[in-house]
């Protein structure tokens, strides 16, 4: 079963543990999302949200400024991150990296970085990343095959694309973003990619 | 630098490369305006109003008429004022506070096209020479900035004027909500903005194209197909041949929106 | 004040009963650039609300390491009223913005986003009495549309007094000729009032009655807010998988 919930809506389902708050013995949704319910397992997934860096996430960032011992990286999040590195970076360089730590006041440290050479980036709604990647990466693999592009999807909702039909990649990902909650999405996207070529 | 600005810089090269190959993101021709949707009369508190959608760019313009004194050098003419407000509903890069130079430039460009085309017969707005005239305030409010706010603002302003009415005026009082006649409109000036990216020129830039542009030119044409105002902006220069071509396209591409605006009259 | 008959046989000039709201429609997610948005029509009021954030907070000295800062801007478009409104922020607008920001700050989980700001911009495109309640109602939908965690949607509505009777949601004529106006904002699931202003003259009993009626009004507005957010995804297949 699935159902749209709004902030403040009472959630009676015992199993929902995230995106809810408790008050006076009752449980309420704190976001605009979808409540999914299967046997013994229920959860609320936000319809949209801002990316908040989490330890262990793999993200794509753009170098905003170069400092002593590293650089400041923009992440499509309300916070900048610091990448400690001895490599030479320039403003505007695109990197993928792992979020190594997030402090209480949201000081974010990145590591394990890899620099991309060339290509383009765009941002999509981070709540749709799971659909864009697909089960066992099936969706993104299909997009790579049909467009001939190299693609890397960061958990912060930022996508890097190089070669092939870059415009098509963005177009199809925007379509997934819009239609993420519809059924038969994979099939629809496959038809879309083949039908247009 | 904002995250968005950094992304646009990364994308710029690709956008220019594709334009060179004759491809625009939304499949448009180089010299093609986005789809234009005009909704006049949305605001009942205004004497005239119009909402214009140029692709995903949305602008609303409203006209207010008041009684004022004429300028001393034009005692028999009504007065005209154009203001644009880049209020932050429309874009993350707009800010609250006093108008900045970008806001003032857009206001003045829109104003020039309206004024120089003589689209409003200002003499007909005189009530008592030297004493009392109608003043026309055009207020423009972008709601969604997805590129080319100038053209959307200019078209919204002209559409709102075309649909504006003069309120009744009796014994020194304006009777709001009751009208004596339509605003005397004699022309339909249309603004067309062109962007230069590298060496390529495109019409009506969408947001990403605008962010990648090196320079822009706005050409206002009137009903006769003459140019009545223009403005070059941005750091890139233009060749004379490029300007000739831009003017030719501006004249040609203004016919359709002009028809659209007059349709709703 | 002009002499005017505002009530006839228990009906108001626009045909409403004492406890009726004007017609309200809300559409969520109208704008592309904003992180969340809503367009609302309420009687003759037309309002756009846009939310940006949480985003980096500038200037830096306004940052709090404990929570996000929520800023609210209430703005009348110059053409929204009969006599053109000056584009400069008015004292009235600044006051409304302040109390509205305070009301929303109690409802949004600001502590999740330290050092950031959440900006809520509302524009009244056409004003016909009750704009602060209408703007706040739209703003609350826009915040939910932006995916911002909240205790709940926050409807807002006014009750007032005309010709000695307590009525819901004053129209423009009633606002101008009535005896009192009492706008509130309300958090339904906690049964708490988050904004309250009043001007005019009421007995303590009438005041109490007006608060109760305004809360009832808020509950009706709340249903319309919920519907707007669910409508945005109406193509979404509810029920079975």
Q: According to the model, what pLDDT value does residue B99 have? A: 84
Superfamily for A58-115?
Nucleic acid-binding proteins (2.40.50.140)
Cβ B233 vs Cβ B240: under 8 Å? no
Q: What is the CATH number of domain A2-46?
A: 2.40.50.100
3 state SS of A53: coil
> Given A75, A76, A167, which is nearest B25 (Cβ)?
A167
Which one of A1, A6, A31 would you mutate to disrupt binding with C, by most C Cβ within 10 Å of its Cβ? A6
Between CA B248 and CA B254 the distance in angstroms is 10
Query: How far separated are the first and last CA of chain B, in Å rounded?
Result: 45
> Given B1, B7, B9, which is nearest A122 (Cβ)?
B7
Between chains, do B144 and C73 touch, taking CB under 8 Å as contact?
Answer: no
Between chains, do C77 and B60 touch, taking CB under 8 Å as contact?
Answer: yes
ipTM of the complex as predicted: 0.94
Q: According to the model, what pLDDT value does residue C161 have? A: 97
User: Is the pLDDT score of C239 beyond 60?
Assistant: no
Taking the CA of residue C51 and the nearest CA in chain B, the distance in Å comes to 8
pLDDT tens readout for residues C71-109: 999 999 999 999 999 988 899 999 999 999 999 999 999
What percent of chain B shows pLDDT beyond 70? 100
DSSP β-ladder status, C69-76 and C116-126: parallel
* Mean pLDDT along residues B133-157: 98
Contacts of C119 in chain A (CB under 8 A): none
Mean pLDDT of all residues belonging to chain B: 95
Q: How confident is the model at residue B3 (pLDDT cuts 50, 70, 90)?
A: confident
Taking the CA of residue A112 and the nearest CA in chain C, the distance in Å comes to 25
Q: Is residue B44 within 8 angstroms of chain C, CB to CB?
A: yes
Position with higher pLDDT, C160 vs C232: C160
What percent of chain C shows pLDDT beyond 90? 89
* Nearest one of B148, B145, B197, B212 to B11, comparing CA atoms: B212
Between CA A11 and CA A26 the distance in angstroms is 8
Between CA B146 and CA B15 the distance in angstroms is 16
Q: How confident is the model at residue C235 (pLDDT cuts 50, 70, 90)?
A: low
Cβ A54 vs Cβ A79: under 8 Å? no
DSSP β-ladder status, C116-126 and A20-23: unpaired
CB atoms within 10 A of CB C125: 24
DSSP-assigned letters across all residues of C153-188: ---EEEEEEETTEEEES--HHHHHHSSEEEEEEEEG
Exposed, middle or buried: residue C28 (CB in 10 Å: 0-12, 13-18, 19+)? buried
C8 assigned to some structural domain: no
Nearest CA in chain C to A52: C113
C239 assigned to some structural domain: no
pLDDT tens readout for residues B203-228: 999 999 999 999 999 999 999 999 99
Between CA A64 and CA A100 the distance in angstroms is 19
Between chains, do A105 and C115 touch, taking CB under 8 Å as contact?
Answer: yes
pTM of this prediction? 0.95
Per DSSP, which regions of A103-191 are E strands?
A: 108-115, 120-123, 150-153, 158-162
Please give the residue range of the domain that contains residue C132.
22-231
Contacts of A79 in chain C (CB under 8 A): 56, 115-116
C168 assigned to some structural domain: yes
Q: How confident is the model at residue C240 (pLDDT cuts 50, 70, 90)?
A: very low
Between CA B42 and CA B62 the distance in angstroms is 9
Contacts of A178 in chain B (CB under 8 A): none
C30 assigned to some structural domain: yes
Q: How confident is the model at residue C236 (pLDDT cuts 50, 70, 90)?
A: low
User: Is the pLDDT score of C234 beyond 80?
Assistant: no
DSSP β-ladder status, B79-84 and B57-68: unpaired
Q: According to the model, what pLDDT value does residue C238 have? A: 52
Between CA A167 and CA B15 the distance in angstroms is 9
Q: Is residue A92 within 8 angstroms of chain B, CB to CB?
A: yes
- Cα C125–C129–C132 angle (5° rounding)? 70
Q: Which residues of A touch C (CB under 8 A)?
A: 1-4, 6-10, 19, 21, 23, 26, 28, 30-32, 34, 46-50, 52, 78-80, 104-106, 127, 181-183
Contacts of C125 in chain B (CB under 8 A): 42-43, 60, 62, 141
Between CA B43 and CA B134 the distance in angstroms is 20
The structure tokens listed for A84 are 């400690």
Looking at the domain A120-195, which fold is it? Ribosomal Protein S8; Chain: A, domain 1 (3.30.1370)
> Given A76, A121, A167, which is nearest B10 (Cβ)?
A121
Please give the residue range of the domain that contains residue B57.
3-263
Between CA C144 and CA C150 the distance in angstroms is 8
* Mean pLDDT along residues B221-237: 96
pLDDT tens readout for residues C24-72: 999 999 999 999 999 999 999 999 999 999 999 888 899 999 999 999 9
pLDDT in tens, chain A (197 residues): 889 999 999 999 889 999 999 999 999 999 999 999 888 889 999 999 999 999 999 999 999 999 989 999 999 999 999 999 988 999 999 999 999 999 988 999 999 999 999 999 999 999 999 999 999 999 999 999 999 999 999 999 999 999 999 989 999 999 999 888 777 888 889 999 887 54
Q: According to the model, what pLDDT value does residue A180 have? A: 86
Q: How confident is the model at residue C12 (pLDDT cuts 50, 70, 90)?
A: very high
Cβ partners under 8 Å of residue C126, min gap 6: B42, B43, B44, B45, B46, C44, C45, C46, C80
| Number of domains forming the structure of chain B | 1
pLDDT tens readout for residues B16-74: 999 999 989 888 999 999 999 999 999 999 999 999 999 999 999 999 999 999 999 99
Q: What are the residue boundaries of the structural domains of chain A, listed by start?
A: 2-46, 58-115, 120-195
Chain B, residues 170-199, CB within 8 A of chain A, namely none
pLDDT tens readout for residues C132-189: 999 999 999 999 999 999 999 999 999 999 999 999 999 999 999 999 999 999 999 9
Q: According to the model, what pLDDT value does residue C241 have? A: 36
Query: Number of CB pairs < 8 Å for A and C?
Result: 102
Per DSSP, which regions of chain B are E strands?
A: 36-40, 48-54, 57-68, 79-84, 126-128, 132-144, 165-170, 173-182, 190-197, 200-203, 215-221, 227-234
Strand order in the sheet with A2-5: A2-5, A33-38, A41-46
The structure tokens listed for C55 are 């985003």
Between CA C76 and CA B82 the distance in angstroms is 17
DSSP β-ladder status, B227-234 and C7-8: unpaired
Radius of gyration, alpha carbons of chain A: 19
pLDDT tens readout for residues B53-68: 999 999 999 999 999 9
pLDDT tens readout for residues A91-144: 999 999 999 999 988 999 999 999 999 999 999 999 999 999 999 999 999 999
Q: Most distant CA pair in chain B: distance in Å?
A: 66
Query: Can A2-46 and A58-115 be said to share one CATH topology?
Result: yes
Cβ A84 vs Cβ A59: under 8 Å? no
Contacts of A154 in chain B (CB under 8 A): none
CATH code for the domain of B24: 3.30.230.70
Between CA C24 and CA B179 the distance in angstroms is 28
Between chains, do B89 and C48 touch, taking CB under 8 Å as contact?
Answer: yes
Q: According to the model, what pLDDT value does residue A118 have? A: 93
Chain B, residues 9-38, CB within 8 A of chain A, namely 9-11, 14, 18, 23, 25
Tell me, rounded to whole angstroms, the distance of Cα B207 from its chain centroid. 16
> Given B10, B18, B25, which is nearest A62 (Cβ)?
B10
* Nearest one of A170, A157, A161 to B10, comparing CA atoms: A161
**Residue whose structure tokens are 């180089």:** B30
CATH code for the domain of C155: 3.30.230.70
Q: According to the model, what pLDDT value does residue C216 have? A: 98
């Amino acid at each position: 079963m699935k159902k749209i919930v709004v902030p403040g809506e009472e959630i009676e389902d015992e199993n929902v543990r995230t995106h809810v708050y408790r008050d006076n013995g009752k449980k309420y949704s704190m976001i605009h999302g979808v409540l999914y319910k299967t046997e013994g397992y229920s959860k609320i997934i936000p319809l949209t949200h801002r990316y908040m860096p989490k330890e262990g996430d793999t993200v794509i960032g753009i170098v905003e400024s170069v400092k002593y011992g590293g650089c400041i990286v923009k992440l499509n999040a309300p916070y900048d991150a610091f990448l400690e590195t001895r490599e030479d970076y320039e403003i505007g360089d695109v990197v993928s990296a792992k979020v190594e730590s997030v402090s209480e006041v949201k000081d974010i440290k990145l590591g394990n970085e890899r620099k991309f050479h060339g290509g383009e980036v765009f941002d999509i709604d981070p709540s749709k990343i799971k659909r864009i990647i697909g089960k066992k990466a099936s969706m993104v693999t299909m997009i790579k095959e049909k467009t001939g592009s190299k693609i890397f999807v960061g958990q912060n909702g930022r996508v890097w694309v190089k070669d092939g039909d870059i415009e098509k990649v963005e177009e199809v990902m925007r379509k997934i973003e819009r239609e993420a909650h519809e059924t038969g999405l994979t099939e629809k996207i496959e038809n879309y990619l083949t039908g247009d070529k | 630098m904002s995250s968005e600005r950094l992304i646009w810089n990364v994308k710029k090269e690709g956008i220019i490369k594709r334009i060179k190959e004759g491809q625009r993101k939304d499949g448009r021709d180089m010299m093609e305006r986005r789809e234009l949707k005009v909704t006049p009369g949305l605001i009942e508190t205004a004497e005239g109003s119009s909402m214009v959608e140029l692709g995903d760019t949305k602008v609303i313009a409203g006209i207010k008429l008041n009684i004022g004194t004429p300028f001393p050098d034009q005692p028999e003419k009504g007065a005209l004022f154009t203001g644009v407000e880049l209020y932050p509903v429309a874009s993350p890069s707009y800010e609250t506070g006093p108008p900045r130079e970008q806001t003032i430039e857009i206001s003045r460009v829109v104003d020039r096209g309206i004024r120089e085309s003589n689209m409003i017969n200002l003499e007909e707005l005189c009530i008592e020479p030297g004493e009392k005239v109608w003043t026309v305030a055009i207020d423009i409010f972008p709601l969604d900035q997805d590129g080319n706010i100038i053209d959307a603002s200019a078209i919204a302003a002209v559409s709102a004027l075309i649909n504006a009415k003069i309120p009744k005026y009796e014994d020194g009082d304006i009777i709001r909500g009751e009208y004596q006649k339509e605003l005397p409109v004699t022309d339909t000036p249309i603004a067309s903005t062109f962007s230069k990216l590298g060496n390529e020129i495109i019409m009506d830039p969408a947001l990403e194209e605008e962010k990648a542009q090196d320079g822009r030119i706005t050409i206002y044409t009137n009903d006769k197909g003459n140019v009545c105002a223009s403005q070059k902006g941005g750091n890139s220069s233009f060749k004379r041949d490029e300007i000739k071509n831009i003017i030719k396209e501006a004249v040609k591409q203004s016919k359709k929106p002009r028809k659209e605006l007059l349709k709703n009259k | 004040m002009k002499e005017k008959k505002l009530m006839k046989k228990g009906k108001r000039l626009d045909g409403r009963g004492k406890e009726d709201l004007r017609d309200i429609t809300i559409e969520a997610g109208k704008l592309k650039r904003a992180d969340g948005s809503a367009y609302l029509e309420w009687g003759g009021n037309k309002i756009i609300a846009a939310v940006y954030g949480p985003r980096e907070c500038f200037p830096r000295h306004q940052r709090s390491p404990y929570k996000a800062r929520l800023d609210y801007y209430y703005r009348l478009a110059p053409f929204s009223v009969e006599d053109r409104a000056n584009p400069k922020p008015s004292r009235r607008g600044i006051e409304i913005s302040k109390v509205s920001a305070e009301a929303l700050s109690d409802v949004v989980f600001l502590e999740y986003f330290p050092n950031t700001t959440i900006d809520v911009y509302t524009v009244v495109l056409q004003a016909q009495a009750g704009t602060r309640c209408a703007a706040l109602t739209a703003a609350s939908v826009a915040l939910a549309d932006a995916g911002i965690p909240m205790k709940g949607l926050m409807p807002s509505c006014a009750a007032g007094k005309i010709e000695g009777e307590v009525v819901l949601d004053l129209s423009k004529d009633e606002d101008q000729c009535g005896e009192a106006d009492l706008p509130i904002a309300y958090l339904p699931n906690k049964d708490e009032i988050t904004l309250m202003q009043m001007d005019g003259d009421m007995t303590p009993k009438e005041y109490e009655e007006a608060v109760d009626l305004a809360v009832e009004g808020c509950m009706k507005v709340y249903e319309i807010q919920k519907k707007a957010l669910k409508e945005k995804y109406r193509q979404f297949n509810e029920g079975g998988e």
